[in-house]
Structure 1
Amino acid sequence: MLRIERHSGPQLLTYTDDLARLRIRVFRDWPYLYDGDMAYESRYLKTYVEAPGSVVVLAWDGDAIVGASTGIPLVEETEEVRAPFERAGHTLEDIFYLGESVLLPQYRGQGAGVAFFEHREDHARSLGGFKATCFCGVQRPDDHPARPADYMPLDAFWQHRGYRKQPVLSTCFSWKEIGESAESPKPMTFWMKSLD
């Protein structure tokens, strides 16, 4: 039985190395194919330690972290995350950004994915003032050579959680993909849900 815990602030420093290793391991798989490194991950996770209102939800199996999910007020995010909302006329202060969820494959289908969304949405509500939550997912072509034959996109799961794809809200994130010699931009599309 997985144990789900919500953490914020400096207490996260205890877990940053474990979180970095987990993110590198999970994001190496399709559809991200991320060729990550600990130095980048440490810098990335520092944002969630320092940013006001941020949250990290952890999934534990005994003493091992097997999953994690992040969230942060959109105003605290990077320019590539904020810019699509600014261009579309959204008020950034109204939106809580759900960073990402990572879970080791053997623990999927046990409720952690639902718990990750519920905890982050509850956290946003507890802060007050947020009218919506959002996240983004990478857009890969259906004929991408690395796409597994049995891959099932998460669109139906996200829709069941109340999220709707927002084609007008898109951006690019850059990371080094397996087989690449340097970072390259990857297209990302946002999904949103009202907190009303």
Structure 2
Amino acid sequence: MSFQELHFRIYVGIEIIPHIHEVSKFRVQYFKDYPYLYCGNIDYEKQYLQSFSVEPEAILVAAFDSENKLSAISTGLPLLCSSSILADGPEMFLKNGLDPKKIFYYGEIIISYKYRLKGVVRKVYAMQEKFAITKGFTSIALSTVVRDDFDFRKPQGYKDTDGLWRALGFTRTNMHFEFEWPTYDVNGNVTDQSNQMVYWTKSTEESSV
């Protein structure tokens, strides 16, 4: 299955609003997978995306298949926006010599199973990077979940994404933080847990996009 049959769209700010319900369902469906292990709630997701969409430089990149079914999403916003996951981000980056005002943050990227390993991530992130550059951002950041190598919840054959981020020009930093969400344990039960996260960064000034 090639991603060539997908058509990609980018929505900015309030343009995201008509897609909130569909994106919320998509997030809940796939965020339960490792390494997120997030037990999502449609109402919470809709509320989150509603507040997200009021940011004028917040973006949603969405891919649709030939039947117009949502097949991939990724979000992004300036680091200085009011997203709770970024609460400590500006101070951390400032201490590490990076201007928070110049950093664009990539949120989640979620791809339906049949389009994984088809080049969708590279396509989506190129669209986001082009947007960030046109808005004057000089750095891009993303964060990934840090799980133990021997985590019993890890599916057999799972490959982490560190190599992918490096191939896309990102460098893993030493900036770690914790973020709490309803998390599946090894028995499938759900409790609110603090999850370890780490930032990755990339300069747009050397971008070929």
Structure 2-normalised TM-score? 0.88
Question: Partners of 2:140 and 2:79 in 1: how far apart?
Answer: 9
Aligned residues: 194
Structure 2 partner of 1:189: 198
From 163, 180, 187, give the equivalent of 2:170. Answer: 163
Aligned pairs for 1:71-150 within 5 A: 71-78=76-83, 80-89=85-94, 90-128=98-136, 130-150=137-157
Structure 2 partner of 1:52: 56
Structure 1-normalised TM-score? 0.93
Contact 1:81–1:171 (8 Å) recurs in 2:
no
How many percent of aligned residue pairs carry the same amino acid? 26
Aligned pairs for 1:15-30 within 5 A: 15-30=19-34
Question: Partners of 1:133 and 1:7 in 2: how far apart?
Answer: 19
From 4, 7, 11, give the equivalent of 1:7. Answer: 11
Shift in Å at residue 113 of structure 1? Answer: 0.7
Structure 2 partner of 1:177: 183
Question: Partners of 1:101 and 1:88 in 2: how far apart?
Answer: 22
Unaligned runs of 5+ in 1: none
What amino acid is aligned across from residue 104 of structure 2 in structure 1? F
What amino acid is aligned across from residue 49 of structure 2 in structure 1? L
Shift in Å at residue 124 of structure 1? Answer: 0.5
RMSD between superposed Cα atoms in Å: 1.4
Contact 1:80–1:171 (8 Å) recurs in 2:
no
Question: Partners of 1:7 and 1:85 in 2: how far apart?
Answer: 25
Return closer, same or farther for 1:186/1:42 CA change in 2, 3 Å cut-off: same
Name the stretch that deviates more: 39-48 or 95-104: 39-48
Question: Partners of 2:8 and 2:118 in 1: how far apart?
Answer: 12
Shift in Å at residue 116 of structure 1? Answer: 1.3
Return closer, same or farther for 1:13/1:106 CA change in 2, 3 Å cut-off: same
